[in-house]
């Protein structure tokens, strides 16, 4: 089901801050159907880029908590990531821009929240 409003999107690293944001959203009453963690996985794109392998593979376990029980977790390559973002209510251009920024920065995932109404989590700087 696509919401009439755009979902809130925040760039993240897969770490304790992400787990903290997901916990805060759950505590505020958001359920797992409204919270998505979308991780870009270059291995699923069959990438041979060594720096991307180390950037995304070796630091993957640094998140704490069981966020997979509090949010939907999606770990896939660029095309599938764009498709999932579209299903969550973003345009093709927005999806492409978000995935491109993930690929070009130190961020490893996106936190997507449907109908975020309060300042529950800190915005990116």
pLDDT in tens, 63-89: 556 777 789 988 888 889 999 999 999
pTM score, whole prediction: 0.80
Q: Would you say residue 2 has pLDDT above 70?
A: no
Q: Is the pLDDT of residue 47 over 50?
A: no
Whether the per-residue pLDDT at 112 is higher than 80: the answer is: yes
Number of neighbours of residue 74 by Cβ within 10 angstroms: 19
Q: Does the pLDDT value for residue 57 go beyond 60?
A: no
What residues form DSSP beta bridges with 8? 113
User: Residue 61 pLDDT more than 70?
Assistant: no
Instruction: Write down the pLDDT at residue 64.
Output: 53
Task: List phi, psi (to 5°) of 120.
Answer: -75, -40
Widest distance between CA atoms in the chain: 41
Q: Which of 34, 113, 45, 114 is nearest to 82 (CA)?
A: 45
The model's pLDDT over 12-40, given as tens digits with 9 standing for 90+, comes to: 998 889 999 999 999 999 999 999 999 88
pLDDT of residue 107: 93
Residue 104 has pLDDT above 70, yes or no: yes
């Amino acid at each position: 089901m696509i919401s009439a409003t755009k979902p809130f999107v925040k760039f993240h690293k897969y770490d304790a801050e992400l787990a903290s944001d997901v916990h805060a959203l759950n505590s505020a009453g958001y359920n797992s159907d409204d919270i998505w963690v979308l991780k870009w996985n270059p291995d699923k794109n069959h990438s041979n880029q060594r720096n991307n392998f180390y950037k995304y593979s070796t630091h993957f376990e640094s998140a704490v908590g069981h966020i997979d029980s509090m949010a939907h977790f999606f770990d896939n390559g660029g095309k599938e990531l764009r498709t999932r973002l579209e299903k969550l209510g973003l345009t093709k251009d927005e999806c492409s821009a978000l995935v491109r920024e993930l690929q070009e920065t130190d961020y490893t995932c996106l936190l997507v929240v449907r109908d975020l109404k309060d300042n529950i989590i800190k915005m990116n700087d």
